[in-house]
Amino acid sequence: MSAETDALVQQIQQSLALLRRHLDWDAALARLDELNARAEDPALWENAAAAQSLMRARNHLAAGVDSVRRIERETNDARELLELAEAEQDAAMIAEAEGTLRALAEDAKRREIESLLSGEADGNDAYVEINAGAGGTEAQDWAEMLLRMYLRWAEKRGYKVDIIDRNDGEQAGIKSATIQVSGANAYGWLKTEAGVHRLVRISPFDANARRQTSFASVWVYPVIDDTITVEINEADLKVDTYRSSGAGGQHVNKTESAIRITHIPSGIIVACQTDRSQHRNRAKAMDMLRARLYEAELQKREAQSALVESAKTDIGWGHQIRSYVLAPYQMVKDLRTGVEKSNPDAVLDGDLDAFMAGALAARVGATRSEASAQAS
């Protein structure tokens, strides 16, 4: 095999070693056998909620085990095909085998990153809240650019998006917006976007075409279901009604159907204007509040909670996670991981996977060398 092909095989083996390590392979196989046996018990479905929970756990574990076995099997097949092709000097077959190995290396790397999405709520849908920083129209226009970026990212992944709340700026852009993104591992991916985002560009709102720096914040929290209980004291809530804004039909700006709820002890504020019904908007806002409080509790349990909270102090200098520079040069750089892209237009059109993967991959950087040694 060529040096390039050798490197591809080693890359696949390293990814598989990390996947096995993450799964705790022997324990995962034993657990899967146990779940399969329990799934065949007719009495299981006497408790539908428990049965559904068990089947979700079984299917998730089976998918992880099956992917490792499939990649390993297809890698061995491709290597055998390549050896045969090289022996027969069949250029077309060599190219086919090398192409298969490249695809398998990408697949293994992607699954290695996805294996990091094992947090308590990583598989859940997500709320994404965007707020413009100080700076009036400039910051509000930047906030709307971020909103579009996440809408495009979700669209490319086939995720469903609902706009829960939108507060338009006076001249352009948005003061704030909240969306719900629904799809597999939506929260696990999007949680890497939480923080302050900085834009540098020639201002389209300045007659003198001066360079402007704008900030906007992005907070992400998981959608939670009825299996998670979050106690909220009604006495701790301040509830305001207001007229909806933005596109939405004749009722917009005519009825006070929109709801804003402030949780006084935590200072958390949520808002919803997605429905004509004030009652349904209140119910949705309460769901969002429970999710925010749950996310706050998750952050307390995480080792990096102090870093996350410090990033939320101000929407301004020193707290940004990513810089988007459109002038005098073109670059997007993640300040946590060093991941860079020289095509800001593509990034602002939803090309975020490299940044998200980089943020997740940084969590296992310390284990890669050990896994590499085990694979060799």
| pLDDT at 308 > cutoff 60 | no
pLDDT greater at residue 225 or residue 375: 225
CB 320 within 8 A of CB 198: yes
The pairing of beta strand 195-202 with beta strand 320-325: parallel
Of 231, 224, 273, 283, nearest to 252 by C-alpha is 273
Amino acid at 125: D
Mean pLDDT value across residues 202-212: 87
Q: What is the predicted pLDDT for the residue at 367?
A: 39
- Output the pLDDT for position 251: 43
Residue with tokens 């001249």: 171
Output the pLDDT for position 374: 47
Q: 117-135 pLDDT, tens per residue?
A: 767 788 889 999 999 998 8
What tokens appear for 235 in the block?
A: 């006495």
Residue 193 per-residue DSSP state:
G
CA 1 → CA 4, 6, 335, distances in Å?
Answer: 8, 6, 39
Q: What is the tens place of the pLDDT at every residue in 19-55?
A: 998 889 999 999 999 999 999 998 998 888 888 888 8
Q: How buried is 291 (Cβ within 10 angstroms: 0-12 exposed, 13-18 middle, 19+ buried)?
A: buried
pTM as predicted: 0.70
For the chain, how far is it from start to end, CA to CA, in angstroms?
17
* CB-based contact 245:167 (threshold 8 Å): yes
Q: In what order do the strands lie in the sheet with 126-132?
A: 160-168, 174-182, 126-132, 211-222, 195-202, 320-325, 331-334, 340-341
Alpha helices (runs of H) in 241-343, residue ranges in sequence order: 278-301, 305-310
Mean pLDDT in residue range 233-239: 91
Q: Encoding tokens for residue 190? A: 């999007």
**Residue among 368, 8, 363, 373 nearest 191 (CA):** 363
Joined together, the tokens standing for residue 292 give: 């925010």
Q: Chain-centre distance of CA 338, in angstroms? A: 18
d(CA 316, CA 196): 7
**What are the boundaries of each domain within the chain?**
3-115, 126-362
pLDDT at 146 over 70: yes
User: Which pLDDT value is given to residue 243?
Assistant: 78
Give Cβ neighbours of residue 191 (< 8 Å, ≥ 6 apart): 119, 122, 126, 220, 222
- Confidence label for 231 from pLDDT (cuts 50, 70 and 90): confident
Q: Is the pLDDT of residue 205 over 70?
A: yes
60 against 372, higher pLDDT: 60
Which has more confidence, 368 or 354? 354
Q: Which CATH class is domain 126-362?
A: alpha beta
Handedness of CA 18, 24, 30, 36 (dihedral sign): negative
Q: Is the dihedral of CA 265, 267, 268, 273 positive or negative?
A: positive
Whether the predicted pLDDT of 219 surpasses 90: yes
Which among 291, 341, 366, 356 is positioned nearest to 110, based on CA atoms? Answer: 356
Where is average pLDDT lowest: 118-122, 141-145, 347-351?
A: 118-122
Mean pLDDT of 67-76: 95
Among 85, 35, 95, 45, residue whose Cα is nearest residue 65: 35
Q: Which long-range contacts (CB under 8 A, 24 or more apart) does 21-27 make?
A: 21/367, 21/371, 21/374, 22/115, 22/116, 22/118, 23/61, 23/64, 23/65, 23/68, 23/115, 25/68
Domains 3-115 and 126-362 share a fold: no
Contact 162/111 with Cβ under 8 angstroms? no
Residue that wins the pLDDT comparison between 220 and 243? 220
Nearest to 60 by CA among 8, 13, 122: 122
Residue 375 confidence (pLDDT) above 70: no
The overall average pLDDT reported for the chain is 86
Q: In this predicted structure, what is the pLDDT of residue 109?
A: 85
pLDDT at 315 over 80: no
What is the predicted pLDDT for the residue at 318? 54
Q: For residue 56, what are the CA distances in angstroms to 19, 68, 255?
A: 20, 19, 42
Give the CATH fold of the 3-115 domain.
Methane Monooxygenase Hydroxylase; Chain G, domain 1 (1.20.58)
For the segment 137-156, the average pLDDT, to the nearest whole number, is: 96
In this prediction, residues 351-370 reach a mean pLDDT of 71
